[in-house]
Amino acid sequence: MPESTVSVTIKLFAAYQEAYGVSELVRHFPGETSVSAVLEDLIAEHPELEKWREVTRFGINLQFVEPDTLLQNGDEVVLIPPVSGG
């Protein structure tokens, strides 16, 4: 029996957007994947993002969520690093 997968859109901001050079990505993950695994995937591809690991917040479908929240097919994931401005 094939393993289920979920397709999510990842909205990138600040350091994440700078690392990838785009504002969003579409990725596929195995079923039962947590939102924190999205961050792990991005850090694996761009190790310079490691410094943001502990301070990034997560959002799914316009709501803040805990890192262990499981992804659902079609979710819009947002990784929110600290930002400053004035």
User: For residue range 37-78, what is the model confidence (pLDDT) as tens digits?
Assistant: 999 999 999 999 999 999 999 999 999 999 999 999 999 999
* pTM for this model (two decimals): 0.89
Residue 86 lies in a domain: no
How many domains is the chain partitioned into structurally? Answer: 1
Asked if residue 65 lies in contact with residue 31, where contact means CB atoms within 8 angstroms, the answer is: no
pLDDT value for 82: 81
Confidence of residue 1 (pLDDT cuts 50, 70, 90): very low
Query: Angle CA(64)–CA(66)–CA(44) in degrees, nearest 5?
Result: 100
Q: Lay out the sheet containing 57-60: strands in order across.
A: 24-30, 5-11, 76-80, 57-60, 63-65
Q: What is the CATH number of the domain that holds 16?
A: 3.10.20.30
User: 46, 42, 54: which is closest to 82 by C-alpha?
Assistant: 54
Residue 40 lies in a domain: yes
